[in-house]
């Protein structure tokens, strides 16, 4: 049969991908407690990490893919408030923002989906408590009371379905425990952030258990808006979760879950960078102190942007251990039903400047229902061949509705902007020096022009409406077949069918439209009125997988895995003219070879993998000078190495964990890619053979930890060294979007009871206050000027944790 660990363990938890435990090497021989105590031999070992990456509970060391597991305890230890905080510890994983509550862009092995067009499904799948969520905004929802996070790299289409082309985040939250228990954590951070996380539960009766969890986070933020005198990244979020576990008979369990999350934030946290002389002169008329240093946590724009987000989720998971059936030694059935709704209401200053040029309002509603019905089982052999078989087979049904309304409205200063060089450049494609007339005007002159034009323009906006209905069905199967004690083959396949129906329309709205005069914003965006109803597309996909695994011994194995995945096509949600609304599906195939092993009596765990992935028909957003066009334009190849380890060193108080990612992701073919705006508006270039954006060639982390007693108390100290290599952060590989590599240092110390009933912690993230950027991209109205998103600066936090 497949490798399984069975050592009984006691002790304390630890960090990334593993748990430190104390155990006797001869515990299995002990007849009773007295004999065990007489052995007097204790040593540290690494506990088995159980995951559900293949839809069954198994050791992470038995899963033949590149996989990293992060425990909820480690997330709390480092002060993580979301998945973006653990990304630096995971090889070849990158988040484009530390704070954005809606536009989460996650890249694995260099690939992800730009969230600026909501028609794109995420390339990285998100699953929480066995429910697949098909919107990237869920990445920031209900990230509390976490048991573990599994990060599966590479296409995962066979078991997780569509839109997992780059990988999957598989999150499991805590459920009702066998005994009544609870924990609470209070944390305060400077700059000001306060949070509390609570979880409590246990058995109510012999057949009913409960767990209630809640979180409340309030963050003042670090980004000072000097024009509005407010923090542009102020953020408040609260969430609640309840789980009820019914066990009417021993073989049957029914878990009912309800989750609610609410977020409000100032939005959207961009800073100006690389102002050219003409743009600077224009904006100085509105803010005499306008500046373009993207590293000083200072912005200046006039509209008080905001976002409000609410999600509600209901889940029902039924598991029935049927037992032996025919030749099957054990058969189990699981049914997972999910129902969720997500609403977002946002307004942002589109030009991110003190001039009142344009306002972007976006309101969206999303709901989905899903059902997965699967069977798992075991047999002694297959057709009399081999030493054991484990299988999972099932069906999946998905239905969703997404509605979005977008308004891009003219601001009061738009008329004054139209006489600048920037406006001439966008309208004509280029502007001769001196074509703008406002650079030398004083504030009074600007104000007069703005007042006159604003009165003449009145309400003027472009409205885009989008409605998308999706239904999908799939059947899937996978088995792990032990041909011998050492050799395991794992074939799998998924058949998926998806139907999409969409309505898309765009129109200019203004007071002169009735006279046949084009609306101003519509002209500025080169938009045209259109209305397309009943757009339809159907897609069928087959996602196969095959793994070959060889166990060198009971603690080490090597594997070779081929897998294929796809991301569905769709219809552009932000088209300004109605042309080329449809885009095609994206496909990926990967070949991965890896090693998983434990050494030195289970005190060192080392996992490593090399891979190559071919992406075809890449869905890309091309910036056209005003907004983004959607197209399938490229193919790419990603090659690399991923490694992580945990080592309980011979010096007993010291343990070390770390990770390494090497990444070479390049466009294989991209002949008509957008060029930087410096080459002219709507210019093209050939990026074939060039590095893709958001693909640092190296990423690494190392965390040494000391645990030792002091006056009967347990002291734990840790230091993190986190490195991310150089990269481009805009798809046109504009040199201005190039970010050099950087290293950040974090440190923590905690003092607590040996039984972990309480702990007091002090920590610092970004200890040296390294000023680095997450992303640099083109502005909408100022060609040659850029918007930057800055990573968080130094944060000092203190936390009190209680458990019972």
State pLDDT tens for residues 279-325: 999 999 999 999 999 999 999 999 999 999 999 999 999 999 999 99
**Lowest pLDDT segment from 9-23, 60-74, 180-194, 761-775:** 9-23
Task: Give the DSSP letter string of 23-92.
Answer: E-TTGGG--SHHHHHHH---EEEEEP-EE-TTSS-EEGGG--S-EEEEEHHHHHHTT--SGGGTGGGSTT
Confidence of residue 186 (pLDDT cuts 50, 70, 90): very high
Mean pLDDT of 71-96: 92
The whole-angstrom separation of Cα 789 and Cα 571 is: 28
235 within domain boundaries: yes
pLDDT given for residue 86 in this prediction: 95
- For residue 175, pLDDT beyond 50: yes
For the record, the structure tokens of 43 come out as: 């040593």
- For residue 252, pLDDT beyond 80: yes
Confidence of residue 114 (pLDDT cuts 50, 70, 90): confident
In three-state form (DSSP H/G/I as H, E/B as E, the rest C), the secondary structure along 608-668 is: EEEEEEEEEEEEEEEECCCCEEEEEEEEEEEEEEEEEEEEECCCCCEEEEEEEEEEEEEEE
Residues in the chain: 804
- For residue 16, pLDDT beyond 50: no
pLDDT given for residue 268 in this prediction: 84
- For residue 150, pLDDT beyond 70: yes
How far is the CA of 488 from the CAs of 120, 379, 657, in angstroms?
A: 37, 14, 29
Q: List pLDDT tens digits, range 727-746.
A: 999 888 999 999 999 999 99
pLDDT given for residue 518 in this prediction: 82
State the average pLDDT for the chain. 89
- For residue 544, pLDDT beyond 70: yes
Number of structural domains (the chain) is 1
Domain limits for position 224: 19-794
For the record, the structure tokens of 735 come out as: 């040199």
Confidence of residue 448 (pLDDT cuts 50, 70, 90): low
**Lowest pLDDT segment from 123-137, 238-252, 433-447:** 433-447
User: Could you tell me what percent of the chain has a pLDDT over 90?
Assistant: 73
57 within domain boundaries: yes
Q: List pLDDT tens digits, range 381-411.
A: 998 899 999 999 999 999 999 999 999 999 9
**Residues 576, 627 contacting (CB under 8 angstroms):** yes
- For residue 18, pLDDT beyond 80: no
**Which CATH number covers residue 621?**
2.40.170.20
Q: List pLDDT tens digits, range 661-692.
A: 999 999 999 998 888 887 877 788 999 999 99
Look at residues 557, 593, 396, 559 and name the one whose alpha carbon lies nearest to residue 490.
Answer: 559
Confidence of residue 24 (pLDDT cuts 50, 70, 90): very low
- For residue 516, pLDDT beyond 90: no
User: Could you tell me what percent of the chain has a pLDDT over 70?
Assistant: 90
| HSE of 395, CA atoms in CB hemisphere, 13 A | 2
5 within domain boundaries: no
**Residues 199, 174 contacting (CB under 8 angstroms):** yes
pLDDT given for residue 754 in this prediction: 93
pLDDT given for residue 317 in this prediction: 98
196 within domain boundaries: yes
Sequence-ordered list of residues with C-beta below 8 angstroms from that of 469, at least 6 positions apart, any chain: 400, 401, 500, 501, 502
The whole-angstrom separation of Cα 337 and Cα 496 is: 18
Confidence of residue 451 (pLDDT cuts 50, 70, 90): low
pLDDT given for residue 623 in this prediction: 64
- For residue 11, pLDDT beyond 90: no
Look at residues 464, 266, 417 and name the one whose alpha carbon lies nearest to residue 347.
Answer: 266
The whole-angstrom separation of Cα 399 and Cα 435 is: 53
The whole-angstrom separation of Cα 796 and Cα 561 is: 43
More confident residue, 21 or 363: 363
pLDDT given for residue 62 in this prediction: 96
**pTM of the model as a whole:** 0.92
Q: List pLDDT tens digits, range 413-447.
A: 998 898 888 888 877 766 555 555 544 454 445 66
**Lowest pLDDT segment from 12-26, 144-158, 269-283, 432-446:** 12-26
Confidence of residue 27 (pLDDT cuts 50, 70, 90): very low
The whole-angstrom separation of Cα 613 and Cα 154 is: 8
pLDDT given for residue 319 in this prediction: 97
Reduced to 3 states (helix: H, G, I; strand: E, B; else coil), residue 367 is strand
pLDDT given for residue 624 in this prediction: 57
pLDDT given for residue 120 in this prediction: 83
Mean pLDDT of 91-99: 86
7 within domain boundaries: no
pLDDT given for residue 435 in this prediction: 53
1 within domain boundaries: no
More confident residue, 7 or 701: 701
402 within domain boundaries: yes
Strand order, beta sheet including 298-299: 230-231, 224-225, 298-299
For the record, the structure tokens of 623 come out as: 């910036």
- For residue 31, pLDDT beyond 50: no
The whole-angstrom separation of Cα 463 and Cα 529 is: 9
Helices vs. strands in the chain: H and E counts, helices first: 8, 45
801 within domain boundaries: no
């Amino acid at each position: 049969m497949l490798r399984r660990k069975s050592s009984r363990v006691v002790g304390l938890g630890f960090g990334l991908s593993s748990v430190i435990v104390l155990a006797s090497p001869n515990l299995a021989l002990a007849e009773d407690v007295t004999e065990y105590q007489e052995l007097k031999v204790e040593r540290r070992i690494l506990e088995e990490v159980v995951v559900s990456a293949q839809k069954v509970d198994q050791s992470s060391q038995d899963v033949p893919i590149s996989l990293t597991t992060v425990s909820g305890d480690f997330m709390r230890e480092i002060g993580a408030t979301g998945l973006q905080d653990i990304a630096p510890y995971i090889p070849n994983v990158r988040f484009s923002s530390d704070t954005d509550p809606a536009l989460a862009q996650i890249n694995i092995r260099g690939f992800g989906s730009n969230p600026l067009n909501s028609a794109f499904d995420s390339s990285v799948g998100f699953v929480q408590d066995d429910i697949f969520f098909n919107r990237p905004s869920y990445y920031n929802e209900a990230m509390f009371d976490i048991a573990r996070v599994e990060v599966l790299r590479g296409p995962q289409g066979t078991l997780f379905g569509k839109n997992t082309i780059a990988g999957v985040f598989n999150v499991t939250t805590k459920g009702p425990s066998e005994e009544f228990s609870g924990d609470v954590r209070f944390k305060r951070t400077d700059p000001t952030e306060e949070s509390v996380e609570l979880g409590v539960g246990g058995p109510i009766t012999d057949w009913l258990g409960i767990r209630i969890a809640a979180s409340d986070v309030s963050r003042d933020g670090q980004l000072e808006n000097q024009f509005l005198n407010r923090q542009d990244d102020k953020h408040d979020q609260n969430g609640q979760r309840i789980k009820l576990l019914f066990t009417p008979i021993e073989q049957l369990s029914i878990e009912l879950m309800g989750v609610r999350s609410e977020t409000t934030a100032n939005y959207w946290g961009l800073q100006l960078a690389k102002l050219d002389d003409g743009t600077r002169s224009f904006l100085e008329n509105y803010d005499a102190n306008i500046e373009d240093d993207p590293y000083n946590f200072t912005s200046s724009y006039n509209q008080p942007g905001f976002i409000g987000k609410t999600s509600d989720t209901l889940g029902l998971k039924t598991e029935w251990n049927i037992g032996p059936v025919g030749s099957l030694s054990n058969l189990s059935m699981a049914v997972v039903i999910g129902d969720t709704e997500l609403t977002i209401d946002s307004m942002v200053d589109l030009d991110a400047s003190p001039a009142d040029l344009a306002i972007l309002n976006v309101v969206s509603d999303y709901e989905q229902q899903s059902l997965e019905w699967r069977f798992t089982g075991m047999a002694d052999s297959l057709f009399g061949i081999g030493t054991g078989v484990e299988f999972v087979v099932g069906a999946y049904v998905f239905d969703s509705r997404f509605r979005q309304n977008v308004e891009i409205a003219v601001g009061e200063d738009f008329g004054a902007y139209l006489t600048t060089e920037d406006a001439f450049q966008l309208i004509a494609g280029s502007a001769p020096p001196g074509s703008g007339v406002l650079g030398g005007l004083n504030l009074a002159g600007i104000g007069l022009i703005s007042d006159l034009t604003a009165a003449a323009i009145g309400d003027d906006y472009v409205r885009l409406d989008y409605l998308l209905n999706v239904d999908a069905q799939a059947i899937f199967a996978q088995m792990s077949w032990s041909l011998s004690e050492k050799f395991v083959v794992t074939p799998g396949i998924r058949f998926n069918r998806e139907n999409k129906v969409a309505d898309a329309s765009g129109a200019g709205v203004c007071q002169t439209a009735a006279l046949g005069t084009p609306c101003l914003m519509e002209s500025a965006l080169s938009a045209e009125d259109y209305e397309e109803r009943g757009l339809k597309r159907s897609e069928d996909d087959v996602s196969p997988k095959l793994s070959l695994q060889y166990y060198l011994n009971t603690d080490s194995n090597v594997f070779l895995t081929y897998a294929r995945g796809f991301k569905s096509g769709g219809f552009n949600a932000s088209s300004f003219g109605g042309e080329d609304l449809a885009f095609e599906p994206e496909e990926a195939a990967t070949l991965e070879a890896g090693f998983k092993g434990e050494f030195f009596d289970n005190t060192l765990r080392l996992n490593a993998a090399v891979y190559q992935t071919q992406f075809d028909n890449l869905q890309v957003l091309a910036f056209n000078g005003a907004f983004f066009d959607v197209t399938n334009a490229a193919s790419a190849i990603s090659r690399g190495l991923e490694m992580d380890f945990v080592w309980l060193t011979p010096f007993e108080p010291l343990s070390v964990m770390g990770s390494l990612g090497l990444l070479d992701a390049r466009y294989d073919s991209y002949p008509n890619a957008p060029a930087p705006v410096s080459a002219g508006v709507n210019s093209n270039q050939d990026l074939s053979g060039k590095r893709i954006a958001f693909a640092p060639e190296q990423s690494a982390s190392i965390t040494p930890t000391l645990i030792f007693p002091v006056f009967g108390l347990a002291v734990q100290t840790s230091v993190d060294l986190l490195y991310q290599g150089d990269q481009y952060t805009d798809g046109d590989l504009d040199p201005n979007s190039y970010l050099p590599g950087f290293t950040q240092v974090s440190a923590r110390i905690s003092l607590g009871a040996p039984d972990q009933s309480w702990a007091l912690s002090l920590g610092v993230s970004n200890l040296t206050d390294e000023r680095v950027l997450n992303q640099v991209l083109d502005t909408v109205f100022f060609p040659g000027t850029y918007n930057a998103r800055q990573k968080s600066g130094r944060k000092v936090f203190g936390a009190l944790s209680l458990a019972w």
